Every structure is written in C-alpha cells, then in structure tokens.
Amino acid sequence: MVRDYGEFLGKTEAPAASPLAALGWRPFFANQVDADELLAHPPVRVTEVHRSSIHVVGDGIDQSLPWVAATTVGDWLMLNRELPTASRVLTRSTEIKRRAAGPGRDVQMIAANLDTAFIVSSCNADFNVARLERFLAVVLEAGVTPVVVLTKKDQAPDWQDYVAQTQAMTDAAVIAVNAKGDEVRSVLAPWCMPGQTVGFLGMSGVGKSTLTNAIGNLSVATGDIRTDDARGRHTTTRRQLFFVPDGPAILDTPGMRELQLTEAASGVGEVFSDLEEIASQCKFRDCAHGGEPGCKVQAGIAAGTIEPERLARWQKLVAEDRVNSESVAQRRKREKGFSRMVNKSIRGKAR
Ligand SMILES: Nc1nc2c(ncn2[C@@H]2O[C@H](COP(=O)(O)OP(=O)(O)O)[C@@H](O)[C@H]2O)c(=O)[nH]1
Ligand SMILES: [Mg+2]
Ligand SMILES: [Zn+2]
C-alpha cells in the first residue's frame, strides 16, 4: 500500500479507490449482499464469457471458472469457490440486450452494468441515421448514458455535417474524433472516470478497438480498412471487459451487423419523443397515421415539419419491437388471427 500523505500536505483529494471500487463495485451492488455472504463469497466481475467457461476478476482474483448460467460480460457474481457454478449473479444496474440473430426469439445479452455506451460511427459511408436511432433506442432503454462518437474526423473534411446531422436527432453528447489521434483520452475523459464502466457499440471497422486502446493504453488488435465498403474486417471476435488503472472498465465489442430490438418500447419512444408527442394529439388513440381524419402526424408532414422518412423509421422500429417482444401466447394469438384472416379470404375467393 502506498501511504497517502495528502493530509499532511493539506490536499483535499479523495482517497484512492478500493480495489473493488476500481472494478466498478458500488453501493448498488453492495446493498444486495450481507456481511456473511461477502465474507464467504467474494464479489468478482465477469470479463469474458466463453462457450464452457467465464473469466472473472476481483480483489486479488483473476481466474477462469466453469461456465455460470445467465451471466454476461460486466456482471457481478458472488464467487462460490467450492461450487463456482452456484455463484450468485447480482441484479444488474443496467442491461443492454437485443434479439438474437436467427429464427429463434431469444434475447441476447450484450453487456451488464454499463454506465456509458459510446455508440461509434464513422464520418463516411458507415454513417447511417436509422442505425444510430436503433442503437440509441437500445441504449436509452437500458438506462445507460449514450454518447455518439464519430470517428475518422481526420479523413472527412465535412465532419461537421455528420455532427450536425447527429445532433439533430438526439440530445446525447456527440463527439467527432480521430481515434488514432492524441485527443481521444481527453475528449472522452468525462465518461471515463475510475469506477465507471463504458462500452463501445457499433459496426465493424468504425474504430471501437482503436478507441479502447487509446483510453486504456492497451494493444487490442485493430483491423485494416477495406476500401470497397469503408469497413474493417471483424478483428474483434468477442466481447471483453478491460480494467484500466486509474481509469474506467472498458468493454470492447465485435461489430454488430444486426441490432434487432426487443423490449425496447420506451427507448424507441425516447428517440422519437417529438413524434410520440404529436401522435398523442391525433383524433384517434390508435391512429396509424395513414390518412385517418384528425391525424396530427399527417398534418405535420403536409406542413413540412415532419420528415416522412423519419415517421417511417419510427413506425418500423415500433413494429419490430412489438413483434420481437411479444410473449409466445401473444404470438400464437396473432398468428391464429392471421391464419383466420387468410382462410376467410381464401373462402371468400372460392365462392
Ligand atoms: N484515420 C483513421 N483511422 C481510423 C480511425 N478509427 C479507426 N481507424 C482505423 O480503422 C480500422 C478499424 O479500426 P478498429 O478499431 O479495428 O475498428 P472496430 O472494428 O470498430 O474495432 C483500423 O485500421 C484503424 O486504424 C480514425 O478516426 N481515423
Ligand atoms: Mg474491434
Ligand atoms: Zn395520426
């Protein structure tokens, strides 16, 4: 232990964070545990999840364990050394999730206990408003603070246009950087204090690993750019949490080609709060804004205050979230209703 001479020198700095606090441990988690459990089962944080094992880090602990059910990167576990698979997973402060790719309807956890999500896009062909809205909805739904980071500023003389377009669609902080430049640490510092957990989300090749390296002084592999589509290769293949001395915990993620929403209705509502507000004034409560009388949304489009494309993007996300979030029973009911409708129209045609 290094002795803190601050008091003798008349400094008023906060004392050095405890080893656990440096990993992100805080009252929200401590309050879920009593003294006996704390003594018997030390808290550890999940840094990697593999097929049959997980990696955890705690105070003086840095080891792999057999796979523990229902854990994701960022989780806090109360480590049961005798029976690691029986370790208790603490309630998450935040969870970022999506609908898993493929025909199943499974929810896939992306990260637990993040404070800030850096949504990364580049000032080039990667930039896509619909995709940003999608990421923002997922992050806001999770209760995580979104920050939009626009990389490759050094290659885009028109980078300010990208910033302006992004600011027009969100209240979140928007930052343009050269991820390979010297300014990364300082511009992202407000979200990267010790004890904080930040994560990078975005497509492959936008600079997530480059930013992770810059903040953490790390050397995570980064990918060379392919010139044909402005994207990098999938250099990062798994999610991994890194702890930076005197800095945050950083989650680097592989690029996400598809971010299907699930249980994100209020996040979508936040991203499109202006449209929600206008729609609440439509004459009919269940107005589909498709030409019903008294539709304030269509009135806005006619007046040029609402972009039809933005309305379409909103409706698409609302519909997608609804389908992906419905319970099995709800889905059966909907499909039954649909087949009844089809049967009816077939019968109608036969007559
Ligand atoms: N010039 C420039 N290159 C960048 C920037 N951000 C990322 N790159 C490059 O883009 C490629 C992909 O970066 P990487 O961090 O692997 O992207 P990831 O897939 O999001 O992790 C690498 O060759 C980086 O050096 C930037 O802001 N400016
Ligand atoms: Mg990467
Ligand atoms: Zn309407």
Same-domain pairing of 201 and 163: yes
Ligand 1 site-directed mutation target among 124, 131, 222, 235, most atoms within 8 Å of CB: 222
- Report if residue 4 sits inside a domain: no
> Cα(216) to centroid of ligand 2, in Å?
14
- Report if residue 40 sits inside a domain: yes
- Report if residue 9 sits inside a domain: no
Same-domain pairing of 223 and 327: no
Q: What angle do CA 165, 97, 146 make, to 5 degrees?
A: 35
Rounded mean pLDDT of 72-97? 96
Same-domain pairing of 172 and 217: yes
Same-domain pairing of 169 and 211: yes
Same-domain pairing of 248 and 122: yes
User: Domain range spanning residue 345?
Assistant: 265-350
Average pLDDT of the residues of the chain = 87
CATH number, domain containing residue 83: 2.30.30
Q: Which residues pair with 45 in a beta bridge?
A: 57, 76
Same-domain pairing of 62 and 104: no
Same-domain pairing of 248 and 280: no
- pLDDT of 114 > 70? The answer is yes
- Report if residue 102 sits inside a domain: yes
225 lines ligand 1 (CB under 6 A): yes
155 lines ligand 1 (CB under 6 A): yes
Percent of the chain with pLDDT over 90: 69
Distance CA 247, CA 249 (A): 7
CATH number, domain containing residue 134: 3.40.50.300
Instruction: Dig out the tokens for 114 from the structure.
Output: 């993040």
Q: Tell me what pLDDT residue 296 has.
A: 96
**Which of 89, 108, 135 is a domain's end point?**
89
Q: Choose the weakest-confidence range: 95-99, 158-162, 166-170, 342-346.
A: 342-346
- Report if residue 79 sits inside a domain: yes
- pLDDT of 145 > 80? The answer is yes
Same-domain pairing of 106 and 231: yes
Rounded mean pLDDT of 17-42? 95
- 203 annotated binding-site participant: yes
CATH number, domain containing residue 308: 1.10.40.50
Same-domain pairing of 99 and 83: no
Q: State pLDDT tens for residues 284-303.
A: 999 999 989 999 999 999 99
Same-domain pairing of 184 and 299: no
Collapse the DSSP code of 25 into the 3-class scheme (helix H, G, I; strand E, B; otherwise coil) and give the result.
Answer: coil
Q: Which residues pair with 281 in a beta bridge?
A: none
